[in-house]
Amino acid sequence: MRVLKFGGTSVGSVANINQVIKIVSQEAKNDRICVVVSAVGGVTDMLMQCGLQAAKKEDYNPVFKELEAKHLQFVSELVPNDTEAVEETQGLLNDLNSLLNGIYLINELSPKTVDKLLAYGEILSSSIIARAMYAQGLDAARKDSRDLITTNDKHTKAGVNYKVTNSQLDYYFAKAKQQITVLPGFIASSATGETTTLGRGGSDFTAAIVAAALDVDQVEIYTDVSGMYTANPKLVKQAKPIESISYHEAMELSHFGAKVLYPPTIVPVMSKNIPIRIKNTMAPEDAGTLIHNKEGISDNPIKGLSNINNIALLTLEGGGMVGIPGISKRLFETLSNQGINIILITQASSEHSICLGVMEEDAGKAKNAIDEEFQYEISLNKIDPLSLEIGLSIIALVGDQMKSHQGISGKMFSTLGKNNVNIRAIAQGASEKNISAVIAQKDVKKALNSLHERFFEAQRKQLNLFITGVGNVGEKLLNQINQQQEYLKKHLNINMRVLGLSNSRKMLIDENGIDLDNWKALLEAGEPANLDGFHEAVVNQNQRNSIFVDITANADVADMYGKYLKQSVAVVACNKIAASSEFSKYSELKRLSKAYNAPLLFETNVGAGLPIIDTLNNLIASGDRVNRIQAVLSGSLNFVFNNFKSGESFHDVVQAAKAEGYTEPDPRIDLSGVDVARKILILARESGLKINLEDIANEPFLTEKNLNSTDVPHFFETLKEDAAHFEKLVANAEAKNHRLKYVAQLDNGKASVGLQSVPEGHPFYDLKGSDNIVLFFTDRYPEQPMQIKGAGAGGDVTASGLFADIIRTATY
């Protein structure tokens, strides 16, 4: 004898029922089969809705009609031309309609009536399915479970009388002749013959009750997924079926919300050591999950994650509670008298407060009852009125072997913390089979995914990028990401996705990742851009490891960083404005980055893709001390001075630099040294100095006339007028066999920028094109400085610098 249970989706359409019949006919070749069926998917909810509407004297007909049509259509397609089947089904539907009418008339829906009403779902489905099997030539007959399973009269969640039930089942199956018996799940009857139900999701339980009574070898629960997964597959895409799991682990997971198995199901089979196999009706060849008495042997002490939504947290608190025995007893008794189920309990060791998690629907009732129970203590101010918080969820980490592993809760809470998931309460079962935490319901998806990544995808980390600014550098970055995605997965175990893009006109968000082969067209078709709207979208996405990437030169964008960091969204910026703004702003951003565990990286602010800031940070972190920095940090000024020879026109060289895009549209920004000053400012700050732009000495090489020019054309005029000044600068240098370089320095806490003439042999002397160079003189590199040299501008190298910062966030 085998017991096979098919859930709501498995019998949710004609095609699915045919698939069920196919599986059963195959299995019935070798064995007698008991098939337990649920109501057609969604029908139990529809019945409840009709009942609630009827009790409120609302029109329940639209829903009833839908339900009626669905069943009649199943009959006509599964057992065509069978008038008996139509009559039976129509008869049941008429009875159902009369019951609803009765509820409507008396305006009341008691638990007893709820059971009568909901039972129709399984009664209808089992009758149609048994007939369909018979019509397809199987030796199948239906039996009403209410004749076999006897319970107490706790309606809507009745307790089974195993003694009576087991003998009834034994007796019936000993005599039954048919190869296949179809039983409605979920329903039973009380000793007085009233219809009862086993609780929502209870068809699984029916199968287990039958299996235990008949002592079968295995129960098979067929559903719409290929087993019990490491987390709810509807919320965590990366979740995988668990191959083998112990009864206790499965019970914990289902108790904490893994709906795939109704928690009481395990009880009857566990005592008889009968394994449960969870299988997928649509993919019966998949192995599914085996639930049995062995603790799973695996490297991972965590078996799965689960969650329960719609939780309320009740906190009883007050100075008068300390040391007084009996408070908890009264509290629990009060809730138990109200029939309220407690899902989670925590008590601080100071006994100053007790925190309980219950379902939100019970919260109001719980508060009234508890405030009444402690009325006297509340009136004396010994205990505060019960505090009640809603909108919460419980997430739980489950595994038998957690007890022999240290540091799991630490990992759990640090992962949640890093992702800005606030934990309201924590509980750990004394058996250490589960650790649970109460969090805001809006954070559940992010919490489950980040925990799943941490515990099950050990090495694979997902990075979710939101990029603003898709000009030259942005486009290069997107190309690099697109090209490297597979490499990152394979070699660094990083899954890098771009979820948001924005330029000054348009923005685009896609939670599944933007197609990088087609981003331009997609962005063009996006919504109008707006900085706050983009921020809001990032926050609403609430994705783990989110990174905001700023590839603009815009002050308003830089002003948004604080907002992102406060949401634990990392910031990677090529934009220099934030890091070179007033010190107070810079240090506030650094503080937020630390406080919210969100990296703030801006390597490309200095020397484009060269690893300058990262190297500086590493030197300091390793205990070295930076005594002096000397650097050439301006590609534009390099270009100008590499091309300016004695006898030539400085004006023409600057004009050529501008024409070739080596300078800002207003070349004075480069030539005045402001841009270089910002860069040395950033390096000075990163080496620990509290300084501002005004503190940087800037000896201009331009003339008063150049600096006072009214606009760009006028500036070029003045370059011509003051040609002699520039000729003198270059001629003096050449006379000594020197070359002119625009140098930034940090020496003894003093920063400066200015034009210098450097001798042959100096590391700056041979600098080519737009190359940058930085020399770090440190305690460990006193005479021969550490040198970093290479292209200091250009789309590709800047993009690769951003890329490196993005990867750095993954190891933060």
Nearer to ligand ASP (CB atom), residue 92 or residue 440: 92
Q: How far is the CB of 199 from ligand ASP (least distance, A)?
A: 8
Q: How far is the CB of 8 from Mg ion (least distance, A)?
A: 7
**8 Å CB contact between 741 and 755:** yes
Nearer to Mg ion (CB atom), residue 39 or residue 579: 39
Nearer to ligand ASP (CB atom), residue 221 or residue 242: 221
199 is an interface residue for ligand ADP by CB under 6 A: no
Task: Please list, in sequence order, all residues whose beta carbon lies within 8 angstroms of the beta carbon of residue 645, skipping any fewer than 6 positions away.
Answer: 730, 734
201 is an interface residue for ligand ADP by CB under 6 A: yes
Find the DSSP H helices in 138-191. 162-175
Measured CA to CA in angstroms, residue 626 lies from 546, 583, 689 at distances of 33, 20, 11
Nearer to ligand ASP (CB atom), residue 186 or residue 247: 186
Nearer to ligand ASP (CB atom), residue 44 or residue 772: 44
Q: Which of 63, 258, 335, 733 binds ligand ADP (CB under 6 A)?
A: 258
Partner whose binding site includes residue 44, from ligand ADP, ligand ASP, Mg ion, none (CB under 5 to 8 Å by kind): ligand ASP
Q: How far is the CB of 244 from ligand ASP (least distance, A)?
A: 24
Nearer to ligand ADP (CB atom), residue 112 or residue 259: 259
Nearest to 481 by CA among 465, 492, 502: 465
Partner whose binding site includes residue 200, from Mg ion, ligand ADP, ligand ASP, none (CB under 5 to 8 Å by kind): ligand ASP
- How many helices (H) does the chain have, and how many strands (E)? 29, 30
Partner whose binding site includes residue 185, from ligand ASP, Mg ion, ligand ADP, none (CB under 5 to 8 Å by kind): ligand ASP
Q: For ligand ASP, which stretch binds (CB under 6 A), given 196-204, 248-256, 392-400, 700-708?
A: 196-204
Q: Which of 9, 189, 346, 436 binds ligand ADP (CB under 6 A)?
A: 9
Half-sphere exposure for 378 (CA within 13 Å, toward CB): 13
39 is an interface residue for ligand ASP by CB under 6 A: yes
301 is an interface residue for Mg ion by CB under 5 A: no
260 is an interface residue for ligand ADP by CB under 6 A: yes
Give 49: exposed, middle or buried? Use CB within 10 Å, 0-12, 13-18, 19+: middle
Task: Give the residue numbers marked as catalytic.
Answer: 679
CA 643 to chain centre: 54
- Residue 674: strand pairing partners: none
Tokens 């002749």 belong to: 177
Q: How far is the CB of 25 from ligand ADP (least distance, A)?
A: 20
Q: How far is the CB of 403 from ligand ASP (least distance, A)?
A: 32
231 is an interface residue for ligand ASP by CB under 6 A: no
**8 Å CB contact between 676 and 753:** yes
Nearer to ligand ASP (CB atom), residue 124 or residue 398: 124
Task: Please list, in sequence order, all residues whose beta carbon lies within 8 angstroms of the beta carbon of residue 399, skipping any fewer than 6 positions away.
Answer: 249, 300, 301, 302, 303, 304, 433, 434
Q: Which of 16, 19, 25, 38 binds ligand ADP (CB under 6 A)?
A: 38
Size of the site for ligand ADP (CB under 6 A): 20
**Contact set for Mg ion, span 176-235 (CB under 5 A):** 201
Residues present in the chain in total: 812
SS3 label, residue 126: helix
Nearest to 294 by CA among 278, 268, 270: 270
Nearest to 8 by CA among 146, 184, 158, 182: 184
Q: Which helix (H) or strand (E) holds 249?
A: helix 247-255
Q: How far is the CB of 27 from Mg ion (least distance, A)?
A: 20
Task: Please list, in sequence order, all residues whose beta carbon lies within 8 angstroms of the beta carbon of residue 784, skipping any fewer than 6 positions away.
Answer: none
70 is an interface residue for ligand ASP by CB under 6 A: no
Tokens of 167: 């003998």
**Order of strands across the sheet that contains 786-791:** 697-699, 750-758, 739-747, 626-632, 771-778, 786-791
Partner whose binding site includes residue 229, from Mg ion, ligand ASP, ligand ADP, none (CB under 5 to 8 Å by kind): ligand ADP
Nearer to ligand ASP (CB atom), residue 202 or residue 635: 202
Half-sphere exposure for 229 (CA within 13 Å, toward CB): 23
Q: How far is the CB of 290 from Mg ion (least distance, A)?
A: 18
Q: Which of 8, 275, 474, 792 binds ligand ADP (CB under 6 A)?
A: 8
Half-sphere exposure for 710 (CA within 13 Å, toward CB): 1
Q: Which of 200, 352, 403, 590 binds ligand ASP (CB under 6 A)?
A: 200
Q: How far is the CB of 204 from Mg ion (least distance, A)?
A: 6
Quote the longest CA-to-CA distance of the chain: 117
SS3 label, residue 190: strand
Nearer to Mg ion (CB atom), residue 199 or residue 385: 199
Measured CA to CA in angstroms, residue 141 lies from 72, 147, 264, 359, 407 at distances of 20, 14, 27, 40, 55
Tokens of 390: 């809603």
Nearest to 39 by CA among 156, 203, 254: 203
The 8-class DSSP code of residue 382 comes to S
Q: How far is the CB of 256 from Mg ion (least distance, A)?
A: 15
**8 Å CB contact between 682 and 746:** no
Nearer to ligand ASP (CB atom), residue 38 or residue 393: 38
259 is an interface residue for ligand ADP by CB under 6 A: yes
Partner whose binding site includes residue 225, from Mg ion, ligand ADP, ligand ASP, none (CB under 5 to 8 Å by kind): ligand ADP
Q: Which of 25, 44, 502, 687 binds ligand ASP (CB under 6 A)?
A: 44
Give, in degrees to the nearest 5, the angle at Cα 465 between 464 and 470.
Answer: 160
Q: Which of 25, 38, 232, 393 binds ligand ASP (CB under 6 A)?
A: 38
Task: For residue 396, give the amino acid letter.
Answer: A
288 is an interface residue for ligand ADP by CB under 6 A: no
Q: How far is the CB of 8 from ligand ASP (least distance, A)?
A: 5
186 is an interface residue for ligand ASP by CB under 6 A: yes
Task: Please list, in sequence order, all residues whose beta carbon lies within 8 angstroms of the beta carbon of residue 502, skipping any fewer than 6 positions away.
Answer: 466, 467, 468, 469, 470, 508, 523, 526, 529, 534
**Contact set for ligand ADP, span 212-231 (CB under 6 A):** 223-225, 228-229, 231
**Contact set for ligand ADP, span 292-351 (CB under 6 A):** 304, 306
Nearer to ligand ADP (CB atom), residue 242 or residue 412: 242
Partner whose binding site includes residue 121, from ligand ADP, ligand ASP, Mg ion, none (CB under 5 to 8 Å by kind): ligand ASP
Q: How far apart are the first and last CA of the chain?
A: 57
Task: Label residue 227 left, alpha or beta by phi (over 0 means left) and psi (-120 to 50 means alpha).
Answer: left
**8 Å CB contact between 650 and 719:** yes
DSSP string, 543-558: -TTEEEEE-S--HHHH
728 is an interface residue for ligand ADP by CB under 6 A: no
Q: Which of 53, 150, 181, 232 binds ligand ADP (CB under 6 A)?
A: 232
d(CA 771, CA 549): 25
Nearest to 148 by CA among 132, 178, 126, 170: 170
Q: How far is the CB of 5 from Mg ion (least distance, A)?
A: 9
Q: How far is the CB of 13 from ligand ASP (least distance, A)?
A: 15
Partner whose binding site includes residue 641, from ligand ADP, ligand ASP, Mg ion, none (CB under 5 to 8 Å by kind): none
Binding residues for ligand ASP, rule: CB under 6 A, are 7-8, 38-39, 44, 121, 185-186, 200-204
Binding residues for Mg ion, rule: CB under 5 A, are 7, 201
Binding residues for ligand ADP, rule: CB under 6 A, are 7-10, 38, 201, 223-225, 228-229, 231-234, 258-260, 304, 306
